[in-house]
Every structure is written in structure tokens, then in C-alpha cells.
Structure 1
Amino acid sequence: MENTIILVTVTITATILLWPRLANSTGWRAMITPLASIIGSGFLVLGPILNDSFGMFAPLMLLILCGVAYLFGHAIRFNIAEINNGTPRPFLAERLETASSWMLSFAYFISVAYYLNLLGAFGMRLTPWNTPLNARLLTTAVFLFILFTGWTRGFRALERLEEYSVGLKLAIIAGLLVGMGFYFTNRAVEGALLLNPPTVTGWPALTLAFGLLITVQGFETSRYLGETYDAKTRIRSMKQAQWLSTLIYIVYIVLLSYVFAPGTMKLTETAIIDMMEVVAAILPFLLIAAALAAQFSAAIADTSGAGGLVEELTSHRLKPRDAYAVLVAVGLLLTWATDIFQIIAYASRAFALYYGLQAAIAAVTAAKTPRLHRAKWFYGALAILGFAIAIFGRAVEGG
């Protein structure tokens, strides 16, 4: 019965999301890009990690994580508005903007490795060849395919996949939440809900949370949609994407954290599959479909974004395909020298540096504007927080 309801939910949600009137709406299209980026990969790994580490406090930790991300989003929205005002920016702000763009391109290098290592792990998960070696081989093959495509044809044809993968991903997430809701309700009726104590506390818990920033990252994509949407639309859509993603994440983690005991399942990058097998038989297959489509399209988007940034930052001295080659080299190094949890921490630290630089830009700009002198302290503190996350963020210890 649950499987049928889940499939109906997925079908109805996908139909609504692909409805032309909604799909072509300016506000929706502006919001769906950051929304899909925020929840696309984090949804696959965040629940098991938080449940295993923080137990009954997992929803609180997630709320804090989303809150920190919202504050960084506030700094980026401030910068969007200031650029739109046309007021000359301080020299230091311009230099920091260049540094932050370089940092973002480097963060994209790591995030692509994160996406494709997830793709490799989920791609092998339900096959007879489910080993770390084979997952890495699949990841390597996809990296080489991306490099070949980027060097020979470009990504324009593949970028259309993004439109369909976003709808598929959100529809499957809706089905997953419905399935988890049934399971949670049944456990509650049976009086079998769990209040698990955290397994990580104090400073280790804080640094672990720092290392998970990548799982709520993605809202900054609104900053770079200026050729498509005006500043007001981008600011509004970023807020809406962060609000909605926080709501979805909190519902998800509440439904998960009080029905699974930490340690009962091995903490791996595909642990969510083991959990969802208990909830409903159809969910593992849906999750893998979502993972393959979403991670591949996200990798294409970030590879293309990194190439464009590098070309712009070098005044066209380097072509996008030069950046693609470096990106693939970095990705293959991370794939074979580390594990997915280390890559998550590296990506989190790289994006924290980018967010810290964006907050520093906001602080410098506010300091030069008399009416915003108080704001400079807020943005300055936010910049320090970003740099602290970059320094102290650490990886989860997988099983």
C-alpha cells in the first residue's frame, strides 16, 4: 500500500513541476535553481550522518546549520543589492570579489568530485559489483566522459538534463517524505519512537558540523543569474529557496532521527539506502534514480560554471576546457586518494572560504556607507565565522 501511495505522490508531484505554467514562471525558475542545488546531494548523505552523530538533537543541529547558511546568504544578498545600486565599490571590495571568484571556481572543482563520487557509490549500490573499487572506477569513467565532452562538444546539450533532473529529484523527495511519514506514524502508534543520545558532543560536534556546510550549500547560485533575472528576483528567490529547503530538510530529519538507532546500520555514503529499505521497498530504487540524474546534472553545471569563471578571471587567456582538464585532474586525485566523507569536509571548507570572502566584501562595503556602519560588524563577524569553518571543519568518520 505504501509503495503505491509513494509512486502516486512522485507522479503527481512530477506532473505539477512539469506543468508549463509553473515550469515557465519566472519566480519559480529563479527559485528552483538554488533550491535544487541546496537539497540535491545533501539529501542523500545528511540524514544518516546527523542521526549517527547527534541522535535526538539532529533536527536542532540541522536548524543551526541552515541558520548559518541563511546568514551567509544574507551577506550575498546584500552584495547583489549593492552591485545593483550602481554605487562605486571600494577598491578592497573589488579585490576581494576577484579572490572570492577564484575561491568559488576552486570550490566547484571539489564539489564536482563530491557529486561524482556519490554517483559512483549509488550507481553500484544495488548491483553485484558493489565495492569501493568499482564505485571509484565508475566515478573515473564519468570524469573522463565529462572531460571528453567538454573538450569536444561542450555541455550545452547536456545542460538540458538539468531541467528534467530537478523535477525528478524533487518529485522523488516528495515520495520519500510521504513514505517516511507513514513509517514514523506507525512507529509512533506502536510507542516505538527513539530518543537517541548524541555520540559526538562539545568541540568535536561543532567541528563536525562545520564540515557539513556543503550539504546546505547552493543558494549562492542566485548571485550568478544576473543575465537571466534582475536583482530583486534573485534576492527573493534565494530567500525562498533557503526557506523551503530548510522546511524540507527539517521534516526529513525529524521523520528519520526518531525511528533509527545510531550504530544499527553502517555509516557509509549510501546508508540512506539501507534505511529506506526498511521504510518501503520502492524507495531504494527511486533514490538511486534521483541520485544518478541529480549528481550527473549537478556535476555538469558546476564544471561548466568553473570553466566560465576561470575564462572570465583570466580575461580569456585560459579557455573553459583548460579549466575542465584541471578540474578532472583534481577530481581524480580526490577520488583515489580520499573517501567521500573527506571530500564533503574539503568541499565544505572551500565554500566556507568563499562565503567568508563574500561576508568580508559586505563588511568593507558597509564600512564605506554611513547608514550601514552597524552592519559592518555583523558582516565582519560572519566573515570570521566563514574562515573559522574553513580552518576547523572536519570529516565524518564513516563505518
Structure 2
Amino acid sequence: MIVAIALIVALVVTLALTFGRFARSDGWRATVTPLASIIGSGFLICGPLLAREFGSAALLAMAALLAIAYAAGWVIRFNIVHVENHLAQAPFNDPIAWTARITQGVLALAYAVSVAYYLKLLAEFSLKPIAIDPAWEPLAANVIVTVLIALMTLLALGGSLRRVEHLAHGTVSIKIGIIAGLLVALGIAWATGGMAGELPPVRLSWGSIPMLLGLIITVQGFETSRYLGHAYPPELRIKTMRHAQWIASAIYLAFIALLTPFLSRAAATEGVAGILDIMALIAPALGVFVLIGAVSSQLSAAVADSIGSGGLVNEVSHRKISVPLAFTLAGALAVLVVWLTDPFQVVALSSRAFALFYAMQCLLAVLVSLKRGAGTFAHRAGFVVIGLICLVAVFVGAPAEG
């Protein structure tokens, strides 16, 4: 019964997001890219991790993490207006322009690692149902990732970035549909009360802060709007980034809240396997939902970060490198990361690189605010505080994925 209801909800939501009138609007398309990147594997792993570290305060910890992310988004929305205008007129040797280039270099590295990581996770999920010699799994996963990146690159080269955005759009629709089904299943299980366990005690300590800051990578992705200037005007990017963060925050908070009766079980597990155990406890077939959700999450997040990376290279080159070619270069860098490193070992570097990028965005906001007289003293103080929080994440954030 629970599985049937969850499946119906998932189908209805997926079809509405795919074929609804609003789904064809530029507003929704510009929302999809940051939304796809924000909702990667985070909604699957945050529950067990936060339950283990914070107990019954897991929802409060998730809210704090989302607040940090929204504050960083506020800085980037300021920069979409003021930094972009400054860089469009700044000479090559302008100090702010050089700071922006360094910032973009940090983000390019973070994107390459994150795309490789998302697709490597996707490959491993895809290989789970297949009986394959464990010795060959790494090679098979690397081949799958390379093929996926090549296909996305061919889409970009064969037409325009719109074709790649359609891929992101489709996977986001499936992902949100599956998440809706999982939320309904959790809600029914909670309402019946048959499987609810005793809540773990609230745990709050300074030692939990590094792990919480290490989870920044699970709620990042909104910064992709900053590098979609080739496709959408600033006003639309600002509005849709805000919408993407609102939608993602609602999903994260609802998921953690509905996991509340199962926090004791979640605290004893970790990673995607933990969510698989909990959902299988409610109904065994829901494990398939989790696997499909995980695969669609990784694909949509990888596509979104690839789009952001292509826009980034396009901006850095002052439009001399086209977006499809930039997309190809970003894909080649991701392939190198896949074959030369183990993404699970370098995910902490990716998380810290994103935190460093946000800190540098705060620095850019302060510099441009002072130079152009944009914003108030309260704005600059806010930029500094958010930048310091991001720097703390760079130096003490513990790896939360992998």
C-alpha cells in the first residue's frame, strides 16, 4: 500500500514537472540548473550523518547548514549585479579582476572534482545490481563515467547548452518526483506509528561543528547561477537562484523532519546504505526508489556542475572560448580526475574548495562594495562574517561524503 501510494505520487510529480506549462518557461529552466546541483546526494546522506552527530537536534543542525548556504547565496546574488558589472568594464590588471580570476580557478577545480565524484557515485550505484568481479569494478566505473561525459559533451557540441539543460531538466523532474514519493512513504509510516523508535538524545557540542561545516558540499550548487550569464539576464538568475534554494531547503527540512521517528536507526547507519536500510524497513520495494533517486541525483548534479563549469570558462576567456568548447574542456578535466584519482579520497578537497570559493566571493563583494559605493556598512559587515564562516569551513571542515 505504501509503495503504491509513493509510486503514484512520484509519477504525478514527475509528469507535472516534465510536461506542465511552467516547465517550458525560462524561469523554471534557469531554476533547474542550480536546483539540480544543490540536491545531489545530500538528501540521502544528511539524515544518518546528522542523526549520528546531533541526535534529536538533527533538524536544527540541518536548518543551520541551510542558513549558511542561503547567506552565501545572498553574497553571490549581490555579486551577480555588482561584480559582473565591474568586471565587464575593468582593465586586465585591475586587482578585483585578478581576485575574480583566482576565485574562478578555485571553482574550476572544485567543479572538476565534483563532476567526477557525482558520476563515479552514479556508476557505482548502477553496478550494484550487476554481478561483476570486484577487481573489475573500478575500471568499469571509470569507463561508465567517461562514456557519460563524452555523451554530454556531444550534446553540447551538437547543438547548444539547451540540449544539456534538457537532460538536467529531465533528471531533476525524476529526482523530485522520487523524493516526493519517499516523503509520502515516510509520512505514512510516521502516521501509522508502527515502526517509530525512541528518539535519540539531543547532542550539541563544539566537536560537531567540523562535521556540519564539512556538509557544505551537500547544499552547494546555487553558485551555478552566477555563470549562466550567457543564457539568462541577471534579474532572472537572481530570482531563480533564490527559488532553487527555497525548494531545496524545503526538501531537506521535510526529509529530516519525517526521518525523526527513525533517527535512532539512522544514527546507527551512515551514507546511502543507511537510507536504504530505513526505507527497506518501511517497505522493501522502497529500496529501489532510493537507488533510482540516487542515480538521478548524481546525474542531474553532474550535468548542472558541468553547465556551471562551461559558463565559468566562457566568462574567464571573455567569451573567446564558446560555451560548448568550454564544456568540452571541463569534461576533459573531469575525465582526468576520474582516471588519475579516487574521488572518494579527494571529496574533502572539493568541499573545502567550494568553501574557499564562497569566502573569496565574500572578499569580492567587499572590494566591489567599497570601490563602487554599492551596499551599506551592514552589507559589508555581513560579507565579512559569512566569509569568516566559510574560511573556518576551509580549515576545519571534516569530510562528510565518501
TM-score under structure 1 normalisation?
A: 0.86
Q: Residue 397 and residue 13 in structure 1: after superposition, are their counterparts in 2 closer, same or farther (change >3 A)?
A: closer
Could you say which residue in structure 2 is the equivalent of 1:33? 33
The secondary structure found in structure 1 opposite 2:37 is: helix
CA distance in 1, matches of 2:346, 2:58: 22
Correspondence for 2:122: 119
Name 1:386's counterpart in structure 2: 390
Q: Compared with structure 1, are the counterparts of its residues 332 and 196 closer, same or farther at alpha carbon in structure 2 (3 Å cutoff)?
A: farther
Letter of the structure 2 residue corresponding to residue 229 of structure 1: Y
Say if 2:57 is the partner of 1:57.
Answer: yes
Note the C-alpha offset of 1:216: 0.5
C-alpha displacement of 1:127: 4.3
How many positions carry a matched residue from both structures? 390
User: Percentage identity across aligned positions?
Assistant: 34
The alpha-carbon distance between structure 1 residues 137 and 269, as it changes in their structure 2 partners (threshold 3 A), is farther
Code of the residue aligned with 1:170 in structure 2: it is I
Task: Judge which range, 107-116 or 166-175, deviates more.
Answer: 107-116
Q: Pick closer, same or farther for the CA change 1:204–1:156 going to 2, 3 Å.
A: farther
Which whole-Å CA distance do the structure 1 matches of 2:141 and 2:201 have between them?
Answer: 36
2:34/2:304 contact within 8 Å kept: no
Gaps of 5+ in 2: none
1:178 matches 2:180: no
Equivalent in 231, 240, 246 of residue 234 of structure 2? 231
The separation in 1 between residues aligned to 2:25 and 2:232, in whole angstroms, is 12
Using the alignment, how far apart are the partners of 1:308 and 1:397 within structure 2? 26
Alignment of 1:315-334 (within 5 A): 320=326, 321-334=328-341
SS in 1 for 2:259: helix
* Distance (whole Å) between structure 1 residues aligned to residue 264 and residue 133 of structure 2: 25
Q: 2:270 aligns with which of 243, 267, 270?
A: 267
Deviation of 1:28 after TM superposition, in Å, equals 2.3
Out of 142, 145, 151, the residue aligned to residue 143 of structure 1 is 145
Structure 1 CA distance, aligned partners of 2:154 and 2:15? Answer: 35
Is the partner of 1:259 in helix, strand or coil?
Answer: helix
Please report the RMSD computed on the Cα atoms of aligned residues, expressed in angstroms. Answer: 3.0
Q: Which runs of 5+ in 1 are unaligned?
A: none
Q: Quick one: which amino acid aligns to residue 379 of structure 2?
A: A
Secondary structure at the residue paired with 2:331?
Answer: helix
Distance of 1:232 and 1:152 partners within structure 2: 30
In structure 2, relative to structure 1, the CA distance for the partners of 1:334 and 1:256 (3 Å cut) is farther
Q: Which amino acid letter does the alignment assign opposite residue 385 of structure 1?
A: I
* CA distances 1:98-144 after superposition (whole Å, capped 9, x unpaired): 1111111111111113202321332233444596x565344312233
Q: Which residue of 2 aligns with 1:196?
A: 200
Stretch of structure 1 that moved more, 311-320 or 32-41: 311-320
Pairwise mapping of residues 171-320 of structure 1 onto structure 2 (< 5 A)? 171-187=177-193, 192-197=196-201, 201-262=204-265, 265-303=268-306, 305-307=308-310, 309-310=312-313, 313=316, 320=326
Aligned to 1:21: 21
Aligned counterparts of 2:158 and 2:169: Cα–Cα separation in 1: 12
